[in-house]
Structure 1
Amino acid sequence: MIKKFFKDSALYTLANLFTKGIAFVMLPIYLSYLSKEEYGVLDYITTVGMVVAVVITLEVAQAVIRFVAAAQDDINIKSKYISASLTFCVFTYALLVFVGHLNLEWISEFLTENKQDSEIASLAIISYFAFSIMYFTTVIYRSNLNAKSATLSSAIAAAITSLVTLILLSYFDMGLTGVLLGIIIGQFSVAFYNLFLLRKFWFVKPEFSTLIEMLRFSTPLVVSSLGVIFATFADRFMIKEMLSLSDLGEYSLAARLSTGVVLLTIGFQSALAPLIYSRLEDPNTPKSLRKLVSYYLVAAIVFIATSFLLASPVISLLTTEDYAKAPDVLVILVTSVLVSSGYLFFPGLSIAKKTHILAGINIFTGVGNLILNVLLISKFGIFGAAYATLISAIISLILNMYFSEKYFPILRKQSN
């Protein structure tokens, strides 16, 4: 298991290194063509999209990973799950696009604080659809343990998105509109190509009973995932409401750079989940996970130390003195990302299907993070938001570890 994990993890990490590398290269371009406020709006649109992705599809992608990975080599069973979930995903997002365009004025005010930005609101909604379909195709690859195709798809989509965005910004001076169009074109182009390649899995009649089975597993995770999102992104929502789009832009820069840590965590997550579910009966699985926890701890310490040393020079290179607070915020957020990602190695609640406990933990930490943001932002500004995120991440990890150990012990030996 460990050999397979590191092989797949390396592929996911390399792909994310490529995509985040492109994002890093694009960052100074964004900062050159977008105002501080526009950059804040872009980050806010992205954050809202995460909430939309969870609510609209009821986390059915998580059911794909759970059931398809467990089906091993039975293509008929895999096709049954994939077809039902993909149909549901396309239908719900098509409905979102339709309803959203009937309420563009309200959505514009919500996203940009300007009722007249209907074009931005329209493109934001369509970009959510594009991201969702692209993500779903990579989930299909991951659930079939096809790390190569999943990572290649993500890398190509990132490259096309960045290239189109660069052209629209530099040659057509389209600003935020160009960024959103780049996302739509880049994500949809690769998503449609993937769907063609994966047609053997989804080009079958979807079964309603199969969809219900999947939703019974995934729906409880919606509340759980929303808790995770608010535990991680309540800072953006509260900064926008309590401070300004300019403050959000500065905070968003630090947050965007902190996601470079995801090069480590996404590689782990993408490779680890399918492997765990496909090796539940292997008695060596807990021992292997215990080793991986120690490796992750060492890597996390290295990442935090590196961010402390490089935060100021990197941000100074990318921006102006308008972003003076960003370096210190960055170090706090890097630590937060690493702490919150530690839950990946404690899958006991998901394995035991105790999703109600998982939901309770995430709701608790999400609400706690919201309260902490309200209290700390009013006193410390964007630094308060960063500390609130870190505190809630620590609480979430402790609770996940405690309850996971009851059902699938990793840190202690299982009793006979």
Structure 2
Amino acid sequence: MFSQLKRLGADSLLYAFMNVGTKLIAFILFPLYAHYLVDTSLVGLLQLVDTNVSMLTFLVIFGTDSALAYYYFEYKDKETREKYVRSVMTFRISIVILLFVVFLIGGEWLSVLLLDVPGQSQLFYIALGTLCLDTIITLVLTILRYDFHTKRVVVTTVAKMLLIAIVSLLFLMFVWTSLEGILLARLISVAIIVLVLIKPVRIYLKPLFDWSILKKILIYATPLVPASLAFWIIANANNYFLKAFATLSDIGIYGTAIKFATFITLLTSGIQLAWRPFSMSLKDKESSPKLFSTLYAAFLLIGSLGVLALATLMPWIILVMPEQFRIAFQYVAPISIATFLSFYYMIVSTGIFYSKQTKHISIAFGIAAVVSIILNFIFVPMYSIWGTVISYVVAYCLALFMVFRKSQKLYYVPFSGFKMAWTIFWLIAATLGIVYIQLHDLTSWLIAGVWIVFIILVLLVRMDKYFVKRK
């Protein structure tokens, strides 16, 4: 067990370093975007473009990431593994080409439909070019991650973000101070990284249409597609409700809060990247359930403390933004709860992936997506950005508990659902309490009191003890 934990710890540490580096670059870059674009509505337009591209990314991936993770570890010989990777690459590139044709035919109409602004189709053309190249990079780095080439993944990922930052800054300063300049800088940067990875790219980019392999991949992946769509709805449909019931400036403020809420991924994303190969490698070990129980509790506690730390420090962190964006600080910590839960569900869904019953993730997130839409309809017209925050957090809470419940039935881990619910409930209450204190300029000692009460309440349920299931 110690050797397995050592590997998870080492890989997670390197991935955490990678994500600290990339997030810091992104956090430096975003205020620069805001400085050069000036208008919150332009930042809102960029947020809408990124939102639409994220939806297209889900269509390109089509659940094949989870399928490839399973079959890559199912087969041990290099030749078979390579065939699976090439099949996935061929499938994804084919989808990107199809999307590009669709936007070439209906670009102007789609621009008005998706952005509510005419004459912006060129933004999608550039973004789709970046998506194509990023698809190649992502798959190559995924395989390097599966083969535990952690250092190479870390260096390449940080280099990509650093390139984007440098090229974006040069474009904004000397070439093109516009959204087109930002998107073109991204395209040039990912093109350079493709050249850096040219050796594995040449191997995996060779087209392979093997129906027997593709059929197995799609049978595993297809049940996850509704889940991917549901993820997108929960995380991104809020922008369209704000577009309908508020303004592009509100989308810009909300987008700013989203960017800073990803601070919590400094704690989680390293573990997230290491978790899948780590957990899949322990599938048949007898000691795994107790190990997973310990990790479930540890990740929940660390993530909760991270959210509270972000809530406490956010009024000072937001000062890096121009003044018109600083109102976003109040939304950051509540959104980061949903961001954390979007990571945590992957941890507690081990049984679903072990048993290949991935349809249950689609069912859970499908229900959560419907709930999210209903809540947006109710709360966004009433509370604007706070309405989107409510729908976001509630949807992820609902999905998390549905996934956890089903996963426990398929592969039991001695971890209490009640303790998990108790901790998350008080995390939400404590976060809102801290934000309320900050908004009303109350004494900082009250924030210290919130921390103490939260810690006491969590200690009451003894997260360190295994939960023994009654027969």
TM-score if structure 2 supplies the norm length?
0.83
Matched, 1:251 2:233: no
Return the match for 1:341 from 340, 343, 347.
Answer: 343
1:13-412 to structure 2, matched below 5 A, reads 13-34=16-37, 35-72=39-76, 74-197=77-200, 199-200=202-203, 203=206, 205-320=208-323, 322-346=324-348, 347-410=350-413, 411=415, 412=467
Give percent identity, aligned residues only: 22
Question: How far did 1:201 drift?
Answer: 5.4
- Whether the aligned pair in 2 keeps the contact of 1:79 and 1:204 (CA below 8 Å) is no
Which of the pair has more CA radius of gyration?
2
C-alpha separation in 1, matches of 2:295 and 2:27:
28
- Whether the aligned pair in 2 keeps the contact of 1:68 and 1:144 (CA below 8 Å) is no
Question: How far did 1:414 drift?
Answer: 8.3
C-alpha separation in 2, matches of 1:340 and 1:57:
18
C-alpha separation in 1, matches of 2:468 and 2:213:
36
Secondary structure of 1:354 counterpart: coil
- Whether the aligned pair in 1 keeps the contact of 2:264 and 2:307 (CA below 8 Å) is no
C-alpha separation in 2, matches of 1:174 and 1:129:
24
Question: How far did 1:297 drift?
Answer: 2.1
Moved more, 203-212 or 361-370: 203-212
- Whether the aligned pair in 2 keeps the contact of 1:20 and 1:260 (CA below 8 Å) is yes
- Whether the aligned pair in 2 keeps the contact of 1:225 and 1:359 (CA below 8 Å) is yes
Question: How far did 1:61 drift?
Answer: 2.4
**Cα gap change, 1:404 to 1:312, in 2 (>3 Å):** same
C-alpha separation in 2, matches of 1:219 and 1:69:
19
C-alpha separation in 1, matches of 2:290 and 2:203:
37
In structure 2, give the amino acid aligned to 1:120: L
Structure 2 residue ranges without an equivalent (≥5): 416-466
Question: How far did 1:124 drift?
Answer: 2.3
**Cα gap change, 1:237 to 1:285, in 2 (>3 Å):** farther
In structure 2, give the amino acid aligned to 1:142: R
Moved more, 254-263 or 195-204: 195-204
Moved more, 186-195 or 49-58: 186-195
How big is each residue's C-alpha offset from its partner over 1:247-270, in whole Å with a ceiling of 9 and x where there is no partner? 000010011110121222221111
Q: Number of paired residues?
A: 414
Moved more, 405-414 or 152-161: 405-414
Question: How far did 1:205 drift?
Answer: 4.7
- Whether the aligned pair in 2 keeps the contact of 1:232 and 1:389 (CA below 8 Å) is yes
- Whether the aligned pair in 1 keeps the contact of 2:14 and 2:150 (CA below 8 Å) is yes
- Whether the aligned pair in 2 keeps the contact of 1:65 and 1:142 (CA below 8 Å) is no
TM-score if structure 1 supplies the norm length?
0.94
**Cα gap change, 1:198 to 1:146, in 2 (>3 Å):** farther
- Whether the aligned pair in 1 keeps the contact of 2:137 and 2:193 (CA below 8 Å) is yes
How big is each residue's C-alpha offset from its partner over 1:175-198, in whole Å with a ceiling of 9 and x where there is no partner? 111110111111232134324235
Secondary structure of 2:236 counterpart: helix
In structure 2, give the amino acid aligned to 1:365: A
C-alpha separation in 2, matches of 1:252 and 1:387:
16
- Whether the aligned pair in 2 keeps the contact of 1:223 and 1:359 (CA below 8 Å) is yes
How big is each residue's C-alpha offset from its partner over 1:65-116, in whole Å with a ceiling of 9 and x where there is no partner? 22113334x2012111011111111122122212211211022213432221
How big is each residue's C-alpha offset from its partner over 1:347-367, in whole Å with a ceiling of 9 and x where there is no partner? 211211112221110100011
- Whether the aligned pair in 1 keeps the contact of 2:89 and 2:204 (CA below 8 Å) is no
Moved more, 400-409 or 282-291: 282-291
C-alpha separation in 2, matches of 1:415 and 1:191:
54
**Cα gap change, 1:51 to 1:395, in 2 (>3 Å):** same
C-alpha separation in 2, matches of 1:45 and 1:313:
29
Question: How far did 1:138 drift?
Answer: 1.6
Residue of structure 2 equivalent to 1:9 = 12
Secondary structure of 1:115 counterpart: coil
C-alpha separation in 1, matches of 2:337 and 2:288:
28
